[in-house]
Structure 1
Amino acid sequence: MDHPSHSAYDIAQVCLLAGKIMLENGGETYRVEDTMTRVAAAFGIRNSQSYVTPTGILFSIDGPQQTTRMIRISERSTDLHKVTLVNAISRKISLGELSVSEAHRLLNEIEGASAMYPLWFKIMAAAIASGCFLIMFGGTWHDFIPVFLAGGIGFAFQLYFHRLVPIKFIAEFLGSVLIGAIAYLFLKAGFGHDLDKMIVGSVMPLVPGLLITNAVRDLMAGHLVSGLSKGAEACLTAFAIGAGIAFVLSFISGVGIG
């Protein structure tokens, strides 16, 4: 399908916006590149190249209207609903149901939309997940409420501190420190029985499960740079969580508490 009324620049803007939304909300690198290429082809651009990393997107169109655009990715979160919406728009573009301007408008609406779930819902989900992980790892129902509270409070604190200081490692480290401290206080107050399982269950909402999955899938798809960088980020997150818990346990042991 050819769209002579639209310049290559406009088409590149649509492709970049689609890729940006997907990458910022948990989309895999190879899926982002494939979506951008398909959108460009649907708009009549047969010779396009895209290069995606976790921190940036480079998109180029060859031919008479040659153009190269780059966009920086500074924030990444998980909102697979937005990824699904972009995929739906991509399919409509491929079927010829959307023009360049209509696609750009819809993508702008998706980008500007608030998160599908409010903050309180995410915190509640993290708290419930913490309690469920406790049971899954062989814990007892007596520890469910302490883990529910520790996981929810720790997750909420991690989100809040990350907004104040946008350094993910520090936020995750402090969140795990708080989780370890709360779990220990519940244990000493007589509301907990197994500190190890309480801590493991409480920190599970902080574990970078999607990041690890995307890293493996990118590596398997041949995107070595993205796969290795996402794997390194996942390892750093795991180290932050482990270091936070180790700090609490070392402090308890060092001062002779317990």
Structure 2
Amino acid sequence: MEKQSSYTYDIIQVCLLAGKVMLQNGGETYRVEDTMTRIADACGAINSNSYVTPTGIFFSLEGPELSTQLIRISERTTDLDKVTKVNSISRRISSGDLSIQDAHIELDRLDKMTERYTFPKQLIAAAIASGCFLIMFQGSWNDFLPAVIAGGGGFFSVNFFNRLVPVKFFSEFLASFVIGLLAVLFVSTGLGEQLDKIIIGSVMPLVPGLLITNAVRDLMAGHLISGLSKGAEAFLTAFAIGAGIALVVSFL
């Protein structure tokens, strides 16, 4: 009985850890629940129940003794590579190629893994992407460099302000304000031509594209609470970006 209870505890820990890694790194709510259920089923725990929200995961196993645990999700980022690796671990468990103990070790290592790309690399990528977005929106090549600088400055600002004030809304608002100031500075000094195109290209790295996509997919899958909460978070981000730009433009 004690051995069975220990095995049940291991199953719950692996399922919660898998769900945590996926949810913290951009996985959709329905995908998190499906992965946890598949892992539990593969381990012989057929009567499993999971309830996932953007801020927490509830998971329970029914048996001789009902066992339920909760894990809190306080930080979320985007790393779809980790989501893919959790799916791979889940499939290996289902096929019998990975034991529950080894799966816990691999998931724990994956959870503690730091970002694959350093901040300077992310900054360069965001800056170049800003210039490319400007061209995609039919901007002038003369504005490519201003968009690169403004986009890089905005991406640097959102990370800098987020460390000073750990409130996502204010960091995004201040970052978009910086982008607006840089764009106006380039146009006023003659280094830039189209103010609107520079601003649009520069704010694109801040736009919550994945969050909007996940909100829609969760709503379509019937996860109304998660879909609405993610949609609200995406709306606040969009509002913060728009408010920061509007504040700069209002002084023109």
**Residues in 1 aligned to 2:106 and 2:24: alpha-carbon distance in whole angstroms:** 17
Letter in structure 1 aligned against 2:27: G
Quote how far apart the aligned CAs of 1:116 are.
1.7
**Residues in 2 aligned to 1:52 and 1:5: alpha-carbon distance in whole angstroms:** 24
SS at match of 2:63: coil
Residue number in structure 2 paired with 1:76: 76
Quote how far apart the aligned CAs of 1:82 are.
0.5
**Residues in 2 aligned to 1:87 and 1:142: alpha-carbon distance in whole angstroms:** 44
Gaps of 5+ in 1: 254-258
SS at match of 1:19: helix
Residue number in structure 1 paired with 2:216: 216
SS at match of 2:75: coil
Residue number in structure 1 paired with 2:238: 238
Letter in structure 1 aligned against 2:85: L
Quote how far apart the aligned CAs of 1:99 are.
1.3
Are the equivalent residues in 2 in contact too, given 1:48–1:60 (CA < 8 A)?
A: yes
Residue number in structure 2 paired with 1:177: 177
Residue number in structure 1 paired with 2:22: 22
Are the equivalent residues in 2 in contact too, given 1:26–1:210 (CA < 8 A)?
A: yes
Are the equivalent residues in 2 in contact too, given 1:218–1:224 (CA < 8 A)?
A: yes
SS at match of 1:60: strand
**Residues in 2 aligned to 1:7 and 1:93: alpha-carbon distance in whole angstroms:** 15
Quote how far apart the aligned CAs of 1:231 are.
0.5
- 2:169 matches 1:165: no
Deviations 1:119-147 (A, max 9, x none): 11111111111101101111100000000
- 2:36 matches 1:45: no
What TM-score comes out, normalization by structure 1 length? 0.95
**Residues in 2 aligned to 1:25 and 1:5: alpha-carbon distance in whole angstroms:** 31
**Residues in 2 aligned to 1:36 and 1:202: alpha-carbon distance in whole angstroms:** 38
Quote how far apart the aligned CAs of 1:7 are.
2.2
Quote how far apart the aligned CAs of 1:13 are.
0.6
Q: How does 1:1-258 map to 2 (within 5 A)?
A: 4=4, 6-250=6-250, 252-253=251-252
**Residues in 1 aligned to 2:76 and 2:142: alpha-carbon distance in whole angstroms:** 37
Letter in structure 1 aligned against 2:40: A
Quote how far apart the aligned CAs of 1:188 are.
1.2
Q: How many residues align?
A: 250
Deviations 1:33-57 (A, max 9, x none): 0000000111110000000000100
Quote how far apart the aligned CAs of 1:5 are.
8.3
CA RMSD of aligned residues (A): 1.2
Gaps of 5+ in 2: none
Deviations 1:154-196 (A, max 9, x none): 1111012212222100010000000000111111111100001
**Residues in 2 aligned to 1:13 and 1:201: alpha-carbon distance in whole angstroms:** 43
Deviations 1:29-81 (A, max 9, x none): 00000000000111110000000000100001111142100011010000001
What TM-score comes out, normalization by structure 2 length? 0.97
SS at match of 2:193: coil
Structure 1 runs (4+) greater than 4 angstroms displaced = 3-6
Are the equivalent residues in 2 in contact too, given 1:214–1:227 (CA < 8 A)?
A: yes
Letter in structure 1 aligned against 2:216: V
